[in-house]
Amino acid sequence: MTKTIVSNAQALLARRNKVVPKGVGIFAPTTAQSGSGPILTDLDGEEWIDFGSGIGVTALGHCPPTVVRAIQQQAEKLIHACFHVSTYEPYVALCEKLIQLFPHGDATKVMLTNTGAEAIENAIKIARQATGRPAIICYTEAFHGRSMMAMTLTSKISYKIGCGPFAPEVYRLPFPNYYYYGDGLTESAFIEREIQRLDIFLNSHVDPHSVAAIVIEPVQGEGGFNVVPKAYLQALRKKCTELGILLIIDEVQTGFGRTGKWAAYQHYDVVPDISTWAKAMGGGLPIGCVIGKAEIMDATTPGTLGGTYLGNPVCCAAALATIEYMESINLPAKAQTIGQILRRRLKSMQVRFPQIGDVRGLGAMLAIELVRPEDSKKPNPELCTEILEACWKRNLLILPAGMHKNIIRFLVPLIIEEELLQKGLDILEDAFEQVCSAY
């Protein structure tokens, strides 16, 4: 009788399937026992090159020692007090630091959250209170989280199936995505058309005087790393100011250096009224925030914002240590360098493989769009799945994105050395060689 050998990883995944509901989706079949820098070690002791960073969180790699120490030291002093009950210093110190990094005008205020979705929920509540208006405008291909308002603002249908009814007073514009919606126009003609579309929308879909805010990701994350054109975001800023609509920029995936600047909006020479943050901010601990102009943040009634755990002291200490470490190594500059290496390599792969329809992104936030070789606009999700599987077989942890599941996104730890980065890209290129001939 043959005996089936089950690995520790397989055994854990089987246990997971028995106790965790299917709705908690799985991006990749890896397990994680420990992590150090850009390497994740699975339950069988196998080392993986981590090109996903836990979806953009571990920008400083796994378990950066100074962050671990800060967590330990804070946990020995105070783990929880609830900021509504007792004011503690790490919360205030973190807000001060965030205001220093991301001023939103002359006076700025911050509220801390646990997650990106909570940051979005609160940003909307703040915008509605500050303007007295109900409506929110968002975009196709957007992703803002899985709580009810954040999910309503999210475009990707597969994240929303059966979860409605959704929140009312949400209106959706096509994202200014030249690759998808360029329609043969020049890029500048396309941007002009999209700016005009905004005017038409505000005449035909929703009264601008009832709109509290427009929410936009400067580079869409889950949507496939689509970058907002500069002229569009600048026109949007202007339009919002003219009409008293608040501009909310969602920096949850783009923030803290990933795009080569501390904030992606800094590439655009615009300042949002409100911005939302999470992911890389806590170095791995759950923490996010809403940053906004003080007069807007203060237009809120006491008690309408908050929660038991928001801005937990240990998470605040982790975030402070994370930001300090990011500053000490100039993380945005590292992202620029990594972005240049990645882009060069992906562009050269695009020459070899016509199935790579597009290489796009900002800084180190880059993605490739996989298409049919005969039509650069026709998604190729089957090829994407096979490439990912070939990479996973060789211990490269890499993640998909996009409405059509045909995009591979790179969220590499920004402390990765070039040699390891190139090794991971060698694995990817081998996977293309192995798989592409069938597509």
Ligand X SMILES: Cc1ncc(COP(=O)(O)O)c(C=O)c1O
Site for ligand X, rule CB under 6 A: 55, 115-117, 120, 143-145, 217, 221-222, 250, 252-253, 278
Min separation Cβ 319 and ligand X, Å: 14
The position carrying tokens 């290489």 is 359
Report the distance separating Cα 34 and Cα 243, nearest Å: 51
Phi/psi class of residue 316: alpha, beta or left (left: φ > 0; alpha: ψ in -120 to 50)? alpha
Min separation Cβ 222 and ligand X, Å: 6
**252 versus 274: smaller Cβ distance to ligand X:** 252
Phi/psi class of residue 37: alpha, beta or left (left: φ > 0; alpha: ψ in -120 to 50)? left
| Backbone dihedral angles phi then psi of residue 24, each to the nearest 5 degrees | -80, 90
Report the distance separating Cα 10 and Cα 23, nearest Å: 20
**194 versus 250: smaller Cβ distance to ligand X:** 250
**320 versus 365: smaller Cβ distance to ligand X:** 365
Report the distance separating Cα 216 and Cα 177, nearest Å: 13
Bridge partner list, 171: 137
Number of neighbouring beta carbons within 10 Å of residue 394: 14
**53 versus 406: smaller Cβ distance to ligand X:** 53
Min separation Cβ 311 and ligand X, Å: 15
Report the distance separating Cα 385 and Cα 375, nearest Å: 19
Query: In sequence order, which residues have a C-beta less than 8 Å from that of residue 175 and are 6 or more positions away?
Result: 139, 140, 141, 142, 220, 223, 226, 228
Query: In sequence order, which residues have a C-beta less than 8 Å from that of residue 407 and are 6 or more positions away?
Result: 224, 225, 367, 368, 369, 370, 384, 400, 401
Helix axes 418-435, 381-393, angle to 10 degrees: 130
Q: In the structure encoding, which two tokens stand for residue 20, read together?
A: 């965790």
**172 versus 205: smaller Cβ distance to ligand X:** 172
Min separation Cβ 277 and ligand X, Å: 9
Min separation Cβ 314 and ligand X, Å: 17
**264 versus 338: smaller Cβ distance to ligand X:** 264
**221 versus 257: smaller Cβ distance to ligand X:** 221
The position carrying tokens 């995936």 is 253
Min separation Cβ 116 and ligand X, Å: 2
**208 versus 413: smaller Cβ distance to ligand X:** 413
Residue nearest to ligand X according to CB distances in the complex: 116
Min separation Cβ 260 and ligand X, Å: 17
**143 versus 262: smaller Cβ distance to ligand X:** 143
> Cβ-count burial of 158 within 10 angstroms (0-12 exposed, 13-18 middle, 19+ buried)?
exposed
**217 versus 386: smaller Cβ distance to ligand X:** 217
- What is the 8-class DSSP label of residue 367? E
Min separation Cβ 102 and ligand X, Å: 16
Q: How far is CA 410 from CA 38, 303, 428, in A?
A: 13, 40, 11
Min separation Cβ 145 and ligand X, Å: 3
Phi/psi class of residue 82: alpha, beta or left (left: φ > 0; alpha: ψ in -120 to 50)? left
Min separation Cβ 256 and ligand X, Å: 13
